[in-house]
Chain A
Amino acid sequence: MTWLLLGVIFVGALLLRWPDLDRRPMHNDEAVNAIKFKGLWEEGRYAYDPDEYHGPTLYYLTLPLAKLSGAKNFGELTETPLRLVPLAFGLALILALPLLGSGLSRGALVGAAVWTALSPAMVFYSRYYIHELILVFFSFVVLAACWRYLERPRLGWALLAGAGVGLMYATKETFVIQMAALGVGLVGAWAWASYERIPSKEIPRIEPMNPCAPLSPTLSPRFAWGEGGDLSILGMSLKLTHLAAAVVVMVVVSVVLFSSFFTHWAGVLDAVRTYLPMVKRASGHSPHIHPWYFYVERLAWFHVGKGPVFTELLILVLALIGAGAAFLGRGLGDTQVRLARMLALYTLFLAVVYSAISYKTPWCFLGFWHGAILLAGIGTMVLLQLATLRWIRAGMAILLAAGAVHLGIGAWRSTHEYAASRLNPYVYGHTSTDILKLVEKVEGLAQVHPQRHDMLLKVMADHGDYWPLPWYLRRFKNVGWYDRVPDDPKAPVMICAASFEANFDAREPRTHLMAGMFQLRPKQVFELYAQTELWKAYLPTIKRAEED
């Protein structure tokens, strides 16, 4: 029954995420990732960059989807196969929930699946070709594997956890925060349970070797060594052989990926050296400095000008209820208090740390937001179980259903009507849809130029602020990219930042006209210049859109 419900929720999540995957213009970061993927796909080369752009998993995971897309070269590749990568991991978060099935009640598990499916933030970033959701998925796998291992120590769970940690590392360098949060969650929850003498669900198979240990298996010693390297800490039983195997797997996975499958050994050292620029960025050497409430205001209540209100307050309130029940150890039903507290501490730690770090971009909240969603699943059941009268419970269920519909509508609007709008809390430094008009004109000009996509094209923008144009102009083979107006700027088509005030159309001899101004992003506008004769040849080819 649970799997049937998850299947229905999965289909609903897919229908919410899949349509019009290529609708939203590429963000700067997506385009950078796409161009980095190009090197791997066309030339089989990838080298980890310790200064920026995160780990290799995103690119290697894109390979099979790019091959399946049927594109013969990078020019034919579209946004869809790229964005299918985060989409797949966003959906996998729903299917992976049963990993916590032994600790979550069925209702909490289904509730968590529903909120994962409908959360506008999760839906929006499931369609974003960046590393974030992949990190969230692997973090969840590690959390679940640790939980399952501590329930019953098995080598398989240890290896899964090790592999998960390796994949987290190879995805994004900030995984260390997730690992710290996991440590806090595990130690905190088990210490608390040990203090309260809460019995574990399963009696540990490891025999306590301390003759002074209590005979009751429900009262675990704080710390004890067993034979064969068995370790018991605060009731957590660990086999050192399992731990060693997990570490080996973690190292192997991360070395394989950072070395680009043993072709670039410097990547392994770079994976450690990367933490210096990370520390600088976290401590304030960045343009993305925001106050502590930056994430909360985007999730809880976001309203700009005449735009709609975007809010995930329902999930936040349910998460608080779930966390409250976890800390009180009451109203959890079949959900294990250890797991609930682990999730609460994990989520709280992540939220506090990410809010404290001055460097912020909206997608960084996905880690703690996923934790909040899991708590919201617990909170949903706590709320329903609080209602002792059937009609009150029915009323609450109706309200929750209405809230779910509202979230679904918000998710749809955030990915369609407001996909690139400043009124959307998840849009950040985003490309304007206006730039697609420039691309359309450049493609049209290429069609009437004798050299077609071999036509010379020059793009000029201060500090290289022309992304994502390298993605959109990927079919062109002769494009020059400049961070200033070069000594010889002339080309059949020129795209020049308006801030340069180049006025190519006014320069003698007057061979070009300015064919329009186009907004790349707020505060970045481009002027399009084309050879006059080329423009005249292009005009009759323009298809006029029919009026409504």
Chain B
Amino acid sequence: MKRIVAQRFSILMALALTVGVAKSFAADMEALPLKLPAPAFKGTPTDPPPDTTAEKPKGPRPAFLAPKGCVNVGAKAKVTSSDKAPITGSLDLITDGNKEATDTSTVELHRRTQWVQIDLEKEASLYAILIWHNHNTPCIYRDVIVQLSDDPDFITGVTTVFNSDNDNSSGLGVGTDREYFETNEGKLVDAKGTKARYVRCYSKGSTDSALNVYTEIEIWGLAK
């Protein structure tokens, strides 16, 4: 009994001491008298031509190293999509080898989160996935997620190799990869040699439009 009382007294004393220290600490603390610069007024901004968005990033992408013998195993591969009726174009344009940003080389999917899936027909060791959305203007695509799996329904054995959905608005987990500007170089995703038969790419519109546009996807790997 005495031990319990002593224990409780010690706890109370410790708490009191902590509060006291905190208070005295707080008494010595105050908000920094920050002097922050006020906004500078600015006149009417310029109006660039309608086809202009952001400034393109500077400099080419550094070379990506992969095992010798890597080829585009996705060339002419079959493509399916969450969007059963694309607005313009056809899904086969995504793997036809034409990466030019023209109206006839792109497929336009409806708004909200959509995916396109490429069937390599057999498992391959994948090293790099290159994605071109519509890159005629340097827009930014939202919630770009790249997943690999042997399961065509992407329920089991799913590996996410890229995810820029930082607020999980597409519901596939919080991503930590950075968003990026679309350029003619495409977005290169390091697949780290993951073995998979299917590649699925998600997106959720862009700064330009709520629609999802794909020009080309290349999948570089070693076929078994």
Which residues of A pack against B, CB within 8 Å?
28-29, 32, 35-36, 52-53, 287-288, 304-305, 361, 422-423, 428-430, 432, 434, 441, 456, 458, 463-467, 469-470, 478-483, 498-499, 501, 505, 513-519, 521-525, 535, 539, 542, 544-545, 547-548
Contact (Cβ within 8 A) A516 B207? no
**Cβ A514 vs Cβ B50 within 8 A:** no
Number of B residues contacting the other chain (C-beta, 8 Å)?
Answer: 37
Closest chain-A Cβ to B142's Cβ sits at a distance in Å of 8
Closest Cβ of chain A to B86, distance in Å, is 16
Cβ contact within 8 Å between B168 and A539: yes
Say yes or no: B50 contacts A464, CB within 8 Å. Answer: no
Question: Is the beta-carbon distance between A514 and B34 smaller than 8 angstroms?
Answer: no
In the bound assembly, the distance between CA atoms of A52 and B44 in angstroms comes to 10
Apart from A464-B41, A467-B45: 17 A-B pairs, beta carbons within 8 A: A28-B44, A32-B42, A35-B41, A288-B44, A305-B51, A361-B44, A422-B50, A428-B47, A429-B44, A430-B47, A481-B39, A498-B54, A498-B55, A517-B179, A517-B180, A542-B169, A548-B112
Say what secondary structure dominates the interface of chain B.
Answer: loop
**Residues on B facing A (Cβ under 8 Å):** 34, 36-48, 50-55, 57-58, 112, 139-140, 166-169, 171, 174, 176, 178-181, 207
A464: chain B residues at CB < 8 Å are 39-42
Q: Chain A residues with Cβ under 8 A from B48's Cβ?
A: 522-523
Q: Give Cα A192–Cα B50 distance, bound, in whole angstroms.
A: 46
Q: Once bound together, how far apart are the Cα atoms of A480 and B58, in whole Å? A: 28
Q: When the two chains form their complex, are residues A465 and B50 in contact, meaning their CB atoms are under 8 A apart?
A: no
Could you tell me if B50 and A523 are in contact, using CB atoms closer than 8 angstroms? Answer: no
Evaluate contact between A519 and B36: CB separation under 8 angstroms.
no
Which residues does chain A contribute within 8 Å of B166, judged by CB atoms? Answer: 513-516, 535
The answer to whether A523 and B55 have CB atoms under 8 Å apart is: yes
B54 and A539 within 8 A (CB): no
Closest to A532 in B: B176
Q: For B179, give the chain A residue with the smallest CB separation.
A: A517
Of all chain A residues, which has the CB nearest B32? A456
Bound-state Cα–Cα, A434 to B139, Å: 11
Find out whether the CB atom of A505 lies under 8 angstroms from the CB atom of B178: yes
Bound-state Cα–Cα, A501 to B55, Å? 12
- Given the complex of chains A and B, what is the CA–CA distance between A480 and B166 in angstroms? 25
Are B39 and A523 in contact (CB-based, < 8 A)?
A: no
Q: Which residues of A contact B178 (CB under 8 A)?
A: 505, 514
Question: How far in angstroms is the closest Cβ of chain B from A45?
Answer: 15
A524 to B48: give the CA distance in the assembly, Å: 11
Residues in B with CB closer than 8 Å to A547 are 112
> In chain A, what residue has the closest Cβ to B41?
A32
CB distance from B211 to the nearest CB of A (A): 11
- Given known pairs A288-B44, A539-B167, the reply for A522 and B39 (CB within 8 Å) is no
Q: 3 closest pairs, A vs B, by CB?
A: A480-B36, A429-B45, A464-B40
Q: Which residues of A contact B53 (CB under 8 A)?
A: 519, 522-523, 525
CB distance from B42 to the nearest CB of A (A): 5
Residues of A within 8 A of B168 (CB): 539, 542
Residue of A nearest to B205 (CB): A434
Identify B37's interface contact among A441, A480, A524, A545, CB under 8 A: A480
Given contacts A465-B45, A480-B37, A523-B55, contact A423 B50 (CB under 8 A): yes
Across-interface contacts of A515 in B (CB, < 8 A): 166-167
Residues of A within 8 A of B40 (CB): 464, 481, 483
Residues of B within 8 A of A505 (CB): 178
Alpha-carbon gap, A513 to B166, bound state (A): 9
From B44, B47, B54, B181, contact of A29 by CB (8 A): B44
**Does B140 lie within 8 Å of A517, measured CB to CB?**
yes
The answer to whether A521 touches B45 (Cβ under 8 A) is yes
25 A-B pairs (CB sep. < 8 Å): A29-B44, A36-B41, A52-B41, A52-B43, A361-B44, A429-B45, A432-B207, A441-B167, A464-B40, A467-B45, A469-B39, A478-B36, A480-B36, A481-B36, A481-B37, A481-B38, A514-B178, A515-B167, A516-B166, A517-B180, A517-B207, A525-B54, A525-B140, A539-B174, A544-B169
Residue on B with the closest CB to A49?
B41
Taking the nearest CB of chain A, how far is it from the CB of B178, in angstroms? 5
* Chain A neighbourhood of B41, CB < 8 A: 32, 35-36, 52-53, 464
Given the known interface contacts A482-B37, A513-B176, A525-B207, the answer about A287 and B55 at a Cβ–Cβ threshold of 8 Å is no
- Complex Cα gap A140–B42 (Å): 30
State how many angstroms separate the Cβ of B82 from the closest Cβ of chain A: 12
Smallest Cβ-Cβ distance to A431: which chain B residue? B45
Q: Which residues of the partner chain A approach B58 to less than 8 Å between Cβ atoms? A: 501
B61 CB, min distance to chain A CBs, angstroms: 15
| A429–B44 CA distance with the chains assembled, in angstroms | 7
Contact A522–B38 (Cβ < 8 Å): no
Shortest C-beta distance, B127 to chain A (Å), equals 24
A84→B174 CA distance, assembly (Å): 42
Alpha-carbon distance A459/B78, docked complex (angstroms): 46
Instruction: Give every chain A residue within 8 A of B169 (Cβ-Cβ).
Output: 542, 544-545
Closest to A52 in B: B43
Picked from B39, B46, B179, the residue with its CB within 8 Å of the CB of A514 is B179
A542 to B165, CA, bound (A): 13
Rounded to whole angstroms, the CA-CA distance of A222 and B60 in the bound complex is 76
The 8 Å CB contact of B55, one of A52, A456, A481, A499, is: A499
How far does the Cβ of B199 sit from chain A's closest Cβ, in whole Å? 24
Q: How many angstroms between the C-alpha atoms of A28 and B36 in the bound complex? A: 22
Complex formed: what's the CA distance from A539 to B165 in Å?
Answer: 11
Nearest CB of chain B from residue A464's CB, rounded to whole Å = 4
- Taking CB atoms, residues of chain A closer than 8 Å to B47 are 288, 428-430, 522
Of A53, A456, A463, A499, which is within 8 A of B34 by CB? Answer: A456
Alpha-carbon distance between A27 and B128 when the two chains are bound, in angstroms: 42
Q: Are A304 and B50 in contact (CB under 8 A)?
A: yes
Measured between C-beta atoms, what is the minimum distance from A502 to chain B in Å?
12
User: Quick one: which of A53, A288, A466, A524 contacts B39, CB cutoff 8 A?
Assistant: A466
Could you tell me the distance in whole angstroms from the C-beta of A32 to the nearest C-beta in chain B?
6
- Collect the chain A residues with CB atoms within 8 Å of residue B34's CB: 456, 478, 480
Contact of A523 among B38, B44, B52, B179 (CB under 8 A): B52
In the bound assembly, the distance between CA atoms of A288 and B43 in angstroms comes to 11
Q: Please, which residues of chain B bring their CB within 8 A of the CB of A52? A: 41, 43
CA distance A548 to B111 in the complex (A): 11
CA gap between A25 and B112 in the complex, in Å: 21
Q: How far is the CB of B64 from chain A (nearest CB, A)?
A: 19
Contact of B46 among A429, A467, A470, A480 (CB under 8 A): A429
